[in-house]
Copies of this chain bind each other. A is one copy, B any other.
Amino acid sequence: MQETADVLVIGTGTAGFTLALACRKGGRQVAVVDDKPYGGTCGRNGCEPEKYLMQAAQVVHLTRQMSGQGITVPAAMDWPALIRSKSAFSNGVPERTERAFQQAGIKMYFGTAHFLSPETVAIGSETTVRAETIVIATGARPAPLDFPGAGLVVETSDFMEMKNLPRRVLFIGGGCLALSFGHVARAAGADVTILQRGERVLKNFDLEMAQLAAKAARARGINIVTGITAAMAEKVQGAFMTYGKGGCTEAFPSDLIVNTSGRIPDLDPVDPEAGAVARSARGVTVNEFLQSVSNPRVWAIGDACDSPYLLSTVADMEAEVAADNILTGNRRRPDYQGVPSMAQAQPPLSFVGLTEAQARQSGKKFRINRGSTDSWPSSRRIGQQGGFYKVLIEEETGKILGAHLLGQNAGETINIFALALKFGISNSELRQILWTYPTFISDVKDMIE
């Protein structure tokens, strides 16, 4: 069956969803297709359910660290109950997504889509769609592990569905996912080990801050091992043995191994080459308007395109930009300035702008406000030890070049600095704000003097 569409969107996650609705609103005949349940990673088995688990874990960790401050019984977590309520939270995503498409008058296809030619996409074995515009919004998938026994490793989406939590959990890869799920497993009572190939965890974050976050995780009993590459895994008498350092040198016994080694664009099933769509290992190669450099009929947004961030907020922004350009011609460019990041650990770590190393490389003249927050009332109120801040301020202008926060509420507070970066608000201007007091955000005043 040969069909047509003005705009065919491959992928129904937050990027594809936002773009499809915007193009439909703009009067185009829009079709969407997905080989998985509708709704994409973030809502179904990514950041939303991850945050759901982490929210419970953070409360448990918080009541533990407040023990002795009037909290006599810390909160306790039950894994099966947590997973059940998480499922109730996220299971409705496909249905809600389909309903929104239906109400908007968007045609829905279910199945695997792959290019047949630069202007035609096959869906399954029986349908082909010829579209004026084809948008690749297929997101990312876990980076595959390639050592012997890698088949024993589960993905984070499996982890979030486990009916029971094994006693010893090993995470391979030391990025945000490992820290987040590691803290969840730890709050639920598991022994947690994070095995990180490189010398440091959280490699996109400022080095000093990442080390402090690792220290905070260790203080909660999470075992972080760096500089060791997982080289082999096997099952020995019911348990898993993972070996590091090029063979069987060092053994890490566990009852569950989880892949947290990162994510890569999920492009192979689309067969971009058949559509003359150029790509790199980081995604579809696009111009400054998010249009494929090799096939002007094709756009790529979200985790599937080669842009600087794998974040759902960035995916939404790219979707809005691409939709505008599709509807009215190439005019809008995505703006990646001042995008804040956070690692959902306990306490969370967040940053926006430049790391210290990047700032030094930039040649800009800046000073660093930095220090422990342990003596601050906001930390003492919650029994927090190991909090830290680091703010890079340009000497001449007072502009915030970068801000790095480790502490309760850091993932929220960083947005103040994101605003300051985006609108060029200097430290002296920021000091004019009379923040609500006493709050975590009121600490900003002491970070920017």
List residues of A (69-90) whose CB comes within 8 Å of B's CBs: 69-79, 81-83, 85-86, 89
CB proximity of A148 to chain B, nearest CB, Å: 36
- Chain B contacts of A411 at CB under 8 A? 436, 439
- Chain B contacts of A350 at CB under 8 A? 436
List residues of A (305-330) whose CB comes within 8 Å of B's CBs: 311-314, 317
CB proximity of A317 to chain B, nearest CB, Å: 6
Is the CB of A414 closer than 8 A to any CB of chain B?
yes
Q: Given A66-B56, A69-B85, A409-B412, does the pair A339, B434 have CB atoms closer than 8 Å?
A: yes
Is the CB of A167 closer than 8 A to any CB of chain B?
no
- Chain B contacts of A63 at CB under 8 A? 59, 63, 75
Is the CB of A95 closer than 8 A to any CB of chain B?
no
User: With A and B bound together, what is the CA distance between A53 and B432 in angstroms?
Assistant: 28
CB proximity of A338 to chain B, nearest CB, Å: 8
In the complex, the answer to whether A70 meets B82 with C-beta atoms within 8 Å is yes
In the complex, the answer to whether A71 meets B62 with C-beta atoms within 8 Å is no
Closest to A313 in B: B434
Is the CB of A418 closer than 8 A to any CB of chain B?
yes
In the complex, the answer to whether A70 meets B66 with C-beta atoms within 8 Å is no
Q: Given A71-B76, A381-B89, A423-B425, does the pair A434, B81 have CB atoms closer than 8 Å?
A: no
From B47, B313, B437, contact of A311 by CB (8 A)? B437
Closest to A85 in B: B69
In the complex, the answer to whether B381 meets A55 with C-beta atoms within 8 Å is yes
List residues of A (420-444) whose CB comes within 8 Å of B's CBs: 422-423, 425, 429, 432-442
User: With A and B bound together, what is the CA distance between A292 and B264 in angstroms?
Assistant: 67
In the complex, the answer to whether B78 meets A438 with C-beta atoms within 8 Å is no
In the complex, the answer to whether A440 meets B412 with C-beta atoms within 8 Å is yes
Closest to A414 in B: B436
In the complex, the answer to whether B436 meets A412 with C-beta atoms within 8 Å is yes
Count the A residues whose beta carbon is within 8 Å of the partner chain — how many?
70
- Chain B contacts of A414 at CB under 8 A? 436
In the complex, the answer to whether B48 meets A68 with C-beta atoms within 8 Å is no
Closest to A51 in B: B438
CB proximity of A415 to chain B, nearest CB, Å: 5
Closest to A340 in B: B436
CB proximity of A189 to chain B, nearest CB, Å: 12
Residue interface bits A250-287, CB-to-B below 8 A is 1, else 0: 00000000000000000000000000000000000000
User: With A and B bound together, what is the CA distance between A435 and B411 in angstroms?
Assistant: 9
From B72, B81, B432, contact of A70 by CB (8 A)? B81
Given contacts A313-B434, A419-B433, 10 further A-B contacts (CB under 8 A): A63-B63, A72-B77, A75-B75, A313-B437, A338-B434, A342-B439, A350-B436, A412-B441, A415-B433, A416-B419
Question: 8 nearest interchain CB pairs?
Answer: A70-B82, A73-B76, A313-B434, A72-B78, A63-B75, A69-B85, A55-B381, A56-B70
